Amino acid sequence: MSKIADAFKNGKAFIPFITCGDPDLETTAKIVRASVENGADLIELGIPFSDPTAEGPVIQGANIRALAGGVTTDKVFGLVEELRRDVKIPLVFMTYANVVFSYGAERFMAKCSETGIDGVILPDMPFEEKGEFSVEAKKYGIDLISLIAPTSADRVSMIAREAEGFIYIVSSLGVTGVRSEIRTDLSDIVRMIRDNTDVPCAVGFGISRPEQAKKMAEISDGAIVGSAIIRIMEQYGREAAPYVGEYVKSMKDAIR
């Protein structure tokens, strides 16, 4: 069984997303540890990319800052290796197909396995085109995590049946970013997922407040937050870790 399942075994999971290297990798490490200490169950680590098509302006800005600071995929792997000395919760990468393709799919998945990454999310990879990456991921025991959006419709059952690790439910159409409210009724999507798999599902895109996280966790197995955390990192820079920790605690408390 995947280690990712551990994130969901003690109730609802809170999953923060952190762009690696914004403002630097040392700060990223502090933020990851502060998140773990304050109840994060799984962490998504973003490998910076120059054209992050699923991201809104907040996370795009973080990618630009990280790349300008000289962050590379190899340096991110080095960060994971260092984190794994004491961070025991599941870690997954969220990045783009071109990052994996240019690194070499087999080399990338092998390095994930070697450093302690449990899964990979590629938001720009259509489910039907995952073949090249899924073969290499399976070979090295890495879960290739699927996304299901409100537009997935008749594909939900098919995606759910082949899901690994957990399923990332995209709450709203469009890119990542803080939303004042999430109007999409996701209960039908969750029901279809439950009918086809026991793999847990968590909702992301647009969640920023405890009451939103609570609502999304009530219908699924957890809540994912990115942009709201990146905003804190942008505001406090190298001093952001305790503020992110405080935020993570408030969100985890809300979904318990």
Rounded Cα–Cα distance for residues 66 and 84 (Å): 21
- Determine which of 35-44, 199-208, 229-238 has the lowest per-residue pLDDT on average: 199-208
pLDDT at position 173, please? 54
pTM (two decimals):
0.93
Tell me the pLDDT band of 172, cut-offs 50, 70 and 90: low
Residue ranges of domains in the chain: 3-255
Give the rounded percent of residues in the chain with a pLDDT score beyond 70.
93
Dig out the tokens for 204 from the structure.
């992301």
Averaged pLDDT for residues 119-126: 93
Averaged pLDDT for residues 10-15: 96
Rounded Cα–Cα distance for residues 59 and 171 (Å): 17
pLDDT at position 70, please? 97
**Architecture of 3-255 per CATH?**
Alpha-Beta Barrel (3.20)
pLDDT at position 177, please? 40
Parallel, antiparallel, or unpaired for β 91-94 and 43-46? parallel
